[in-house]
Chain A
Amino acid sequence: MNFGKIARISGALTRSLKRFQHGSEVVTASNQSLPPNLVLYGISKEQFEPESQQEEVKSPGPETPIIRKCNGEIPKNKSPITVWVDSFKNVEQQRQVSAQLHPLIFGAHPRMDILHEVMRWQQRYRDVNYTWSRTRAELGRGKQKPWPQKGTGRVRQGSRAGPGWKMGGIAHGPRGPVSLYYKPADDVILKGLTIALTVKLVQDDLIVVDDVEIPEADTNFFNDVINSRNLSENSLLFMHAENDFPQNLSEIVSNSRTLSLMPASALNVWSMLKHDKLILPLSMLDDLETKILWHMNRYPWLGKPHNFYKDMPGKKGLKFEQEQYLAEQQRESDENVSQ
């Protein structure tokens, strides 16, 4: 197989890739939007005009104020991704302020095989094989010898339930419910998360919002908000920060089949792919980024994962634990200095 040939990429994805790369200001020598060895089946590169097919949406430029910056360390060959920050308090779509997203989480290398693996794991880890066959002892028939041992001319038999008999017991058949639970490596699941977030962002399916809560539990107002953003025919996945439950939105979501509301800890690949659009509030981004970056930069687990590390995210979050640890270290160093 010639690895230089890549399968047909739809117009929407190439357009999104171009916009994504221009918007993120990638710091490399080659600033080409498409790789040079890309082959597009069916149409020549001259015929391919993505700009004419859809109106261009401006990505946030250098003048737009940034209300949220990345916390974690950013590698030198990458720069933060800027996205518009919308607001559900206004009926009209807002494109005035922007937020920065971490490139390792929202700009990960799009490995479709890993995404597929994690998605299939979510579907299959709960599977149980319920097949069960009876052995010769479980058929419920007696232990009577069908004919005497000798003299009849037939093969010696002890019961009519043996595996050689018609309608007899099965010798080495499936035995009872068997769990088909399995778990891929932690790194694979983590990469699946980051790739799903990247795919959502690149395909214009990620909406960052200052607060996911709406001012009142009014379905008409909510429908106006959704229609003005052309999301009336999309299934929406709303996320909220752990301690920040949106009461009004939950009332509307509970009455709808196409809307879902989940806390930040429930973010998963299957839900992201199942729903058309993903809506993230700013309050959730800090915790999400610190936890994912912690998983990328931690030591392997010593044994089972346990809460006996000095700087592990607990209930109050990684930042709180780190601050506590640093404060203790500072206190110890002050004591040493004073002594």
Chain B
Amino acid sequence: MISARCRMLLLVKQHLNRSQTRLTSVLTSNNSGVAYTISKEEFKWIRRLLPPSIIPKPPLHSNYPTPSGWSPPTETSLDLPYFISRTRYHEFPVYEITKRNGQTMTHIRKIEGDIWAFERDVIGIIHPYLDFDPATRVHEVAGIVSVKGNFKAVITQYLREKGF
């Protein structure tokens, strides 16, 4: 005398031996009566919680600069022999670092074109703040100009004025 449950298990085993396609019908229509449906539209509730991968474009403001001091690059082309593009976060590529001995340095990255002309302009900007000639380094291959000292605010202001 085979019980109902044993009969059910034998049925499942038979179906497994035959093919995979029949298994789903066996599972969905079981004796315990729990029916389920597969819905792909409900995934949108999960998708809204997932993080974005692409850095979004800044929203359009009516007035610039914004309260944080940010302004977008101008849309017209510039009449300078060099060009400094923005980072992927829409910021200026000007970085200050502090060495272990307490010295500060300012790096300006992403320089394309005549990098030596840009270096001359940077010296001209910094000159009022120093009594001596500023120490600079030009890395032609990588497109980087480094200046000894912390002049991030001054250089950023210059780039913003020019419309980079």
| Contact flags B92-133 to A (C-beta < 8 A → 1, else 0) | 000000000000000000001110100000000000000000
- Is A76's CB under 8 angstroms from B50's CB? no
A243 at the interface (CB under 8 A from B): no
Mark the stretch among B5-13, B29-37, B137-145, B147-155 that contacts chain A: B137-145
B80 at the interface (CB under 8 A from A): yes
B59 at the interface (CB under 8 A from A): no
| Contact flags B34-52 to A (C-beta < 8 A → 1, else 0) | 0000000000100110111
Considering only CB atoms, which chain A residue lies closest to B88 in the complex? A297
A296 at the interface (CB under 8 A from B): yes
- Is A309's CB under 8 angstroms from B83's CB? no
B161 at the interface (CB under 8 A from A): no
A339 CB to nearest B CB, Å: 17
8 A-B pairs whose Cβ atoms sit less than 8 Å apart in the complex: A3-B140, A28-B77, A30-B114, A113-B141, A309-B52, A309-B53, A310-B47, A328-B44
Main secondary structure of the interface of A (DSSP, over half): loop
Closest 10 CB pairs of A and B: A309-B53, A310-B50, A77-B83, A30-B81, A312-B53, A298-B53, A27-B77, A3-B140, A29-B79, A310-B47
State the total of A-B contacts with C-beta under 8 angstroms.
66
* Given A30-B81, A298-B55, 9 new contacts (CB under 8 A): A76-B75, A76-B77, A77-B78, A111-B142, A113-B141, A308-B51, A311-B52, A325-B47, A328-B47
- Residues of B contacting A309 with CB < 8 Å? 50-53
Q: Contacts A309-B51, A309-B53: A28 and B143 contacting too (C-beta < 8 A)?
A: no
Q: Contacts A109-B112, A297-B88: A28 and B81 contacting too (C-beta < 8 A)?
A: yes
Interface residues in chain B, defined as those with a beta carbon under 8 Å from any beta carbon in chain A:
44, 47-48, 50-55, 73, 75, 77-81, 83, 85, 88, 112-114, 116, 138-143
- Residues of A contacting B53 with CB < 8 Å? 294, 298-299, 309-312
- Is A75's CB under 8 angstroms from B54's CB? no
Cα of A27 to Cα of B80 in the assembled complex, Å: 10
- Is A299's CB under 8 angstroms from B77's CB? no
A37 at the interface (CB under 8 A from B): yes
B135 CB to nearest A CB, Å: 16
Q: How large is the interface on A (under 10, 10 to 19, 20 to 34, 35 or more residues)?
A: 20 to 34
- Is A302's CB under 8 angstroms from B51's CB? yes
Cα of A294 to Cα of B143 in the assembled complex, Å: 23
- Residues of A contacting B113 with CB < 8 Å? 28, 30
- Is B140's CB under 8 angstroms from A310's CB? no
| Contact flags A87-129 to B (C-beta < 8 A → 1, else 0) | 0000000000000000000000101010000000000000000
Cα of A37 to Cα of B113 in the assembled complex, Å: 12
B136 CB to nearest A CB, Å: 12
Cα of A47 to Cα of B101 in the assembled complex, Å: 52
- Is B55's CB under 8 angstroms from A297's CB? yes
- Residues of B contacting A28 with CB < 8 Å? 77, 80-81, 83, 113
- Residues of B contacting A109 with CB < 8 Å? 112, 143
- Is A77's CB under 8 angstroms from B55's CB? no
- Is B81's CB under 8 angstroms from A310's CB? no
- Residues of B contacting A302 with CB < 8 Å? 51
- Residues of A contacting B47 with CB < 8 Å? 310, 325, 328
- Residues of B contacting A113 with CB < 8 Å? 141
A315 CB to nearest B CB, Å: 15
- Is B50's CB under 8 angstroms from A297's CB? no
- Residues of A contacting B139 with CB < 8 Å? 3
Q: Contacts A29-B79, A30-B113, A109-B143: A296 and B88 contacting too (C-beta < 8 A)?
A: yes
- Residues of B contacting A294 with CB < 8 Å? 53-54
Considering only CB atoms, which chain B residue lies closest to A324 in the complex? B47
Cα of A183 to Cα of B69 in the assembled complex, Å: 39
